[in-house]
Amino acid sequence: MLIKDTNWQREVDVVVVGFGGAGAPAAITAHDQGAKVLIVEKQPQCSHHNNTDMSGGGFINVNDPEKAVRYIESFYKVDDDLYWTDPEVIRVWAEYVSHNREWIESLGGKVRFFHSGGEQPGPGSECIDMYFYRGWGWGLMKFLKQQVADRNIPVMYDTPAKKLLTNDNGEVLGVRVAQGDEGGGQTVDIRARRAVIMTLGGFEFDEEMKLNYLKVYPTHFYGTPANSGDGHRMVMELGADLWHMNSCSARLVGKFPDFPISFTMDLGGKNWLLRQISGKETEDVCGYIMVDRDAKRFTSENFKMHTLYYELTVYDSHRRLHPRVPSFWIFDHKRIDSGPLPILMAGPSGPVRLYTWSNDNSTEIAKGWIVKADTVAELARKLELDPDTLEQTVTSYNGYCQQGHDPEFDRKPSDLVPISNPPYYAVKMWPGGPNTQGGPKRNHRAQILNVDGDPIARLYAAGEFGSVYGMLYPSGGGNIAECIAFGRIAGEHAAREEPGR
Ligand SMILES: Cc1cc2nc3c(=O)[nH]c(=O)nc-3n(C[C@H](O)[C@H](O)[C@H](O)COP(=O)(O)OP(=O)(O)OC[C@H]3O[C@@H](n4cnc5c(N)ncnc54)[C@H](O)[C@@H]3O)c2cc1C
Is residue 346 in contact with ligand 1, taking CB distance under 6 Å? yes
Considering the entire predicted model, what is its pTM?
Answer: 0.97
Give the start-to-end residue ranges of the domains of the chain: 15-180+219-243+437-496, 248-433
Rounded to the nearest 10 degrees, the angle between the axes of helix 376-383 and helix 387-403 is 130
State yes or no: pLDDT of 281 exceeds 80. Answer: no
The closest-lying atom of ligand 1 relative to the alpha carbon of residue 477 is 11
Chain segment 399-449, per-residue pLDDT in tens = 999 999 999 999 999 899 999 999 999 999 999 999 999 999 999 999 999
Pick from 119, 98, 51: nearest CA to 485: 98
Instruction: Determine the Cα angle at 128 with ends 122 and 133, to 5°.
Output: 150
Is residue 200 in contact with ligand 1, taking CB distance under 6 Å? yes
Is residue 125 in contact with ligand 1, taking CB distance under 6 Å? no
DSSP letter string, 378-413 = HHHHHHTS-HHHHHHHHHHHHHHHHHT--TTT---G
Q: Measured between alpha carbons, how far is 138 from 146 in angstroms, rounded to an integer?
A: 12
Is residue 450 in contact with ligand 1, taking CB distance under 6 Å? no
What pLDDT is recorded for position 229? 98
Chain segment 120-172, per-residue pLDDT in tens = 988 999 999 999 999 999 999 999 999 999 999 999 999 999 999 999 999 99
> Who contacts 376 (Cβ-Cβ below 8 Å, separation ≥6)?
330, 387, 390, 391, 394, 419, 424
Q: Please check whether residue 127 is in contact with residue 13, taking contact to mean a CB–CB distance below 8 angstroms.
A: no
Is residue 174 in contact with ligand 1, taking CB distance under 6 Å? no
State yes or no: pLDDT of 190 exceeds 90. Answer: yes
Q: Give distance in angstroms: CA of 337 to centre of ligand 1.
A: 33
Q: Measured between alpha carbons, how far is 124 from 367 in angstroms, rounded to an integer?
A: 47
State yes or no: pLDDT of 271 exceeds 90. Answer: no
What pLDDT is recorded for position 284? 80
Chain segment 345-393, per-residue pLDDT in tens = 999 999 999 999 999 999 999 999 999 999 999 999 999 999 999 999 9
Q: Give distance in angstroms: CA of 21 to centre of ligand 1.
A: 6
Is residue 100 in contact with ligand 1, taking CB distance under 6 Å? no
What pLDDT is recorded for position 5? 64
Greatest pairwise CA separation for the chain in angstroms? 78
CATH number corresponding to 15-180+219-243+437-496: 3.50.50.60
Q: Measured between alpha carbons, how far is 425 from 267 in angstroms, rounded to an integer?
A: 12
Nearest CA to ligand 1 atom 38: 200
Chain segment 225-257, per-residue pLDDT in tens = 999 999 999 999 999 999 999 999 999 999 999
| The CATH number, out of the four listed (3.90.700.10, 3.10.20.30, 3.30.930.10, 3.40.830.10), of the domain defined by the range 248-433 | 3.90.700.10
What pLDDT is recorded for position 365? 98
Mean pLDDT value across the chain? 96
Is residue 224 in contact with ligand 1, taking CB distance under 6 Å? yes
Q: Give distance in angstroms: CA of 203 to centre of ligand 1.
A: 11
Is residue 25 in contact with ligand 1, taking CB distance under 6 Å? no
